[in-house]
Chain A
């Protein structure tokens, strides 16, 4: 039995290790401060230059924007489902729609956000906030679901203890229930962020593509890391014909792998932060 389980575990581990091995092996070569701090502006052909600074800016803005929309909406919805509406008709309807939202393909979320903004701004609008809306469509159900599970884990006895002290329900929810569940909720939010930070298709539709730096999420296209990887990869091999210019034929692939590695690192850092935060807030049993 132990052998069986260990073997299964080993097999499950193979693709993960392999993936990490490949990405690190191919990406580490180009991953340096220059790569992180320069955009693709003015870079062409097989030039030994160019970086992902603009894509990092874009990814940070779009993801933070998505989180700013999704976290309050998701947590409030979960609070409603667990603390207020439990079993009611509205709660059942919300649960149903959350389930449906979980299954929405990401490209559809992108189309939806694009169409939504087209209604107000006319067709052809591309900027960071649209991407944030698209990603929040994907993120909200994940946040609702994970928060809901965490709130349900809070023992009812703690709510009753607070009520019995003469604490009104809304204060009990905020200061006892949320406070007790905050570690789990943070982990859930971070996992939701990790999940959407690698989305490509909806961002390609809504935020678009650009080679230079744009700090403004409300105007103009932005580059994002997954889209960057996609773009570099589809650019393919560079034909190096002029021996007088430094030219790396595989430069586009190299940049794609390095950007992919950066993306993985960002997700890992997010997970570490989530762990730290949850350790900080976790209920203390023994000191």
Chain B
């Protein structure tokens, strides 16, 4: 498979500049079905007739963290949401091009978008736990909302494993029945991550997951991301260069020529290369803070 974004063929698992933090092993890590490669080809993304993102072609490697950076309004969120077909829930929104996960076109005629979202989970910018549910029910939401049968002990195991993976178990294990909305913002965000991984997705998309959080909670979530990449393919949008440099293996830079014109993927490469010797002038300017 080629990497048409112009970058060198990455070896993401060992090319990262920093060592991964040694932490307790996460559950379900030996499941071979987890973590998949995503290939995007010539993707044009529309809101009605407005072309928001144009001509994106990229490869997202499994078991690695891919970061998207770029100025506000360049279409990072829009692009991210096309990866799990969340884009089309917006009235009038449409997508042209192909997104393939392990060779299967996610936009194929016989593909159910609901099934895609079950495999590609998402964490949003603002923590959004279900306000009517307890902490435990929030974690189980993916199971319960689908009316799936689950035994009491399986449910308890799933809750513990998911919360432990999200580094939240120790903080909430004594108050699982308390409302999820009663947690702090950082805890709520980790609860949302636990909720997303409880449905055992293969890919996890995160749209500025730390932008509403304090530095400590941010650090907790960055550690978590580093740990989760052993099992998941992770894609993260961030405005924080240091964060992109810290957590990601590959970085994609999106830019926009001006208001009204579509956002484009300017350059994508290993994070180390992107931050030291980017090929494009625009990338260098953005990373060194000269605009955006």
* Same complex: yes
Closest to B198 in A: A165
Closest to A284 in B: B179
Does residue A162 face the partner (Cβ distance < 8 Å to B)? Answer: yes
A163 touches B89 (CB 8 A): yes
In angstroms, Cα B86 to Cα A172, docked, is 14
Q: Which of B132, B144, B147 has the most CB of A within 10 A?
A: B132
B128 touches A161 (CB 8 A): yes
Does residue B84 face the partner (Cβ distance < 8 Å to A)? Answer: yes
In angstroms, Cα B179 to Cα A161, docked, is 17
Closest to B179 in A: A284
Residues of A within 8 A of B292 (CB): none
In angstroms, Cα B209 to Cα A164, docked, is 15
Given contacts A166-B199, A284-B181, A287-B179, contact A160 B145 (CB under 8 A): no
How many B residues touch A, CB cutoff 8 Å? 34
Does residue B196 face the partner (Cβ distance < 8 Å to A)? Answer: yes
In angstroms, Cα B146 to Cα A286, docked, is 27
Does residue B126 face the partner (Cβ distance < 8 Å to A)? Answer: yes
Residues of A within 8 A of B145 (CB): 162, 165, 167, 171-172, 175-176
Does residue B117 face the partner (Cβ distance < 8 Å to A)? Answer: yes
Interface string of A269-287 (1 = CB under 8 A from B): 0000000000001011111
B146 touches A166 (CB 8 A): yes
Closest to B118 in A: A166
Does residue B130 face the partner (Cβ distance < 8 Å to A)? Answer: yes
- Minimal beta-carbon separation of A79 from chain B (angstroms): 16
Residues of B within 8 A of A155 (CB): 128
Residues of B within 8 A of A164 (CB): 84, 86, 117, 121-122, 124, 196
Contact partner of A284 among B117, B119, B131, B141, CB < 8 A? B131
Given contacts A87-B91, A157-B126, A175-B145, contact A165 B199 (CB under 8 A): yes
Q: Is the interface of B mostly helix, strand, loop or mixed?
A: mixed
- Minimal beta-carbon separation of A115 from chain B (angstroms): 40
Interface string of B99-139 (1 = CB under 8 A from A): 00000000000000011111101101010111110100000
In angstroms, Cα B146 to Cα A163, docked, is 11
Q: Is the interface of A mostly helix, strand, loop or mixed?
A: helix
Does residue A106 face the partner (Cβ distance < 8 Å to B)? Answer: no
Does residue A179 face the partner (Cβ distance < 8 Å to B)? Answer: yes
Q: Which of A165, A176, A180, A285 has the most CB of B within 10 A?
A: A165
B131 touches A180 (CB 8 A): yes
Does residue A86 face the partner (Cβ distance < 8 Å to B)? Answer: yes
Given contacts A284-B181, A285-B179, contact A165 B195 (CB under 8 A): yes
Q: Which of B23-80 contact A (CB under 8 A)?
A: none
In angstroms, Cα B86 to Cα A158, docked, is 13
Residues of A within 8 A of B179 (CB): 283-287
In angstroms, Cα B128 to Cα A158, docked, is 6
Interface residues of B (CB under 8 A from A): 84, 86, 89, 91, 114-119, 121-122, 124, 126, 128-132, 134, 141-142, 144-147, 178-179, 181-182, 192, 195-196, 199
Other than the given A162-B130, A165-B199, 16 more pairs (CB < 8 A) read: A157-B124, A160-B89, A161-B124, A161-B141, A161-B192, A165-B142, A165-B145, A166-B199, A167-B114, A176-B130, A176-B145, A180-B132, A283-B131, A286-B182, A287-B178, A287-B179
Interface residues of A (CB under 8 A from B): 86-87, 155, 157-168, 171-172, 175-176, 179-180, 281, 283-287
9 interchain pairs (CB within 8 A)? A157-B124, A159-B89, A162-B141, A164-B121, A165-B141, A165-B142, A165-B145, A167-B114, A284-B131
